[in-house]
């Protein structure tokens, strides 16, 4: 079976691009793969990796071999990350857990619980076991859930933007790594095809500003990309 040429659009990306988008992708390929030949293994073509990175920008979920679906953007917001719960729910749960811990610790000091522990009738590791020590450690995950959630999702009052920024940074860094230029105009053509529901179209100047505003993100991801 003939191997596709280095700059042939992958089947999964072709239907998503208009002719301007395809032309821009091909021009990016030429800029990035100037030293590639058809004799090279497909995995070495930078444009093939670029196509994969571009696909991730608009891919919401993937189907695994066992039939399950994996949501690629489940941590993009509090709504998707918490499912039926909200940050307010977590706050109430934290408060309820605090009250419950106080009651459990008082219950552990009662003669009944002491005797049950002495007779080994309470399982090891149970919140009522070892009455000499409070049960606080059993609930640290719940008590700290709101705080640790902000490490991934940001402040619920001012949540972080979706992983789109990180995904686009990866696209840009890959292009720059293999062509020493950013190619904002070409990237804009492709993004307008991949993300047509966006209110404002991508433009060369807007993407240049995006890069300027996210200099720190690009620098951090430049280390992580490889």
- Is residue 211 a contact partner of residue 218, using CB atoms and an 8 Å limit? yes
SS3 158: strand
Per-residue pLDDT tens, the chain, 226 aa: give them. 444 455 678 888 889 999 999 999 999 988 988 766 554 555 567 888 899 889 888 776 556 567 666 555 666 678 778 888 988 899 999 999 999 999 999 999 999 999 999 999 999 989 999 999 999 988 999 998 988 888 767 777 765 555 678 888 889 999 999 888 999 999 999 999 988 766 678 999 999 998 988 887 788 766 554 4
- Is residue 46 a contact partner of residue 76, using CB atoms and an 8 Å limit? no
Rounded CA-CA distance 167/99 in Å is 42
Rounded CA-CA distance 182/193 in Å is 19
- The residue behind tokens 């005797």 is 115
Rounded CA-CA distance 62/148 in Å is 27
- Is residue 108 a contact partner of residue 101, using CB atoms and an 8 Å limit? no
- Burial, 140: exposed, middle or buried (Cβ in 10 Å; 0-12, 13-18, 19+)? exposed
Q: Which two tokens stand for residue 148?
A: 């640790």
Sign of CA dihedral 50, 209, 225, 61: negative
- Is residue 174 a contact partner of residue 49, using CB atoms and an 8 Å limit? yes
Rounded CA-CA distance 77/11 in Å is 31
Give the rounded distance of the alpha carbon of 158 from its chain centre: 18
Q: Which long-range contacts (CB under 8 A, 24 or more apart) does 41-50 make?
A: 42/3, 42/4, 42/6, 45/6, 46/174, 46/177, 46/178, 47/6, 47/7, 48/6, 48/10, 49/174, 50/25, 50/171, 50/174, 50/175
What pLDDT is attached to residue 3? 46
What pLDDT is attached to residue 226? 44
- Is residue 70 a contact partner of residue 64, using CB atoms and an 8 Å limit? yes
- Is residue 40 a contact partner of residue 6, using CB atoms and an 8 Å limit? yes
């Amino acid at each position: 079976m003939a191997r596709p040429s280095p700059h042939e659009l992958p089947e999964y990306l072709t239907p998503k691009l208009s002719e301007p988008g395809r032309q821009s992708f091909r021009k990016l390929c030429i800029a990035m793969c100037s030293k590639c030949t058809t004799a090279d293994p497909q995995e070495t073509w930078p444009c093939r990796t670029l196509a994969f990175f571009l696909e991730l920008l608009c891919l919401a979920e993937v189907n695994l071999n066992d039939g399950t679906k994996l949501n690629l953007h489940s941590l993009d917001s509090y709504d998707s990350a918490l499912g039926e719960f909200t940050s307010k729910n977590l706050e109430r749960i934290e408060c309820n857990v605090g009250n419950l811990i106080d009651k459990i610790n008082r219950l552990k000091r009662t003669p009944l619980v002491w005797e049950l522990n002495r007779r080994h009738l309470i399982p090891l590791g149970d919140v009522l076991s070892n009455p000499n020590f409070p049960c606080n450690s059993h609930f640290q995950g719940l008590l700290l859930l709101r705080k640790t959630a902000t490490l991934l999702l940001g402040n619920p009052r001012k949540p972080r933007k979706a992983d789109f920024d990180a995904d686009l940074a990866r696209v840009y860094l890959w292009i720059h790594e293999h062509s020493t230029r950013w190619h904002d105009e070409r990237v804009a053509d492709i993004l307008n095809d991949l993300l047509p529901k966006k209110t404002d179209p991508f433009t060369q100047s807007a993407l240049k500003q995006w890069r300027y505003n996210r200099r720190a993100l690009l620098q951090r991801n430049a280390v992580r990309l490889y």
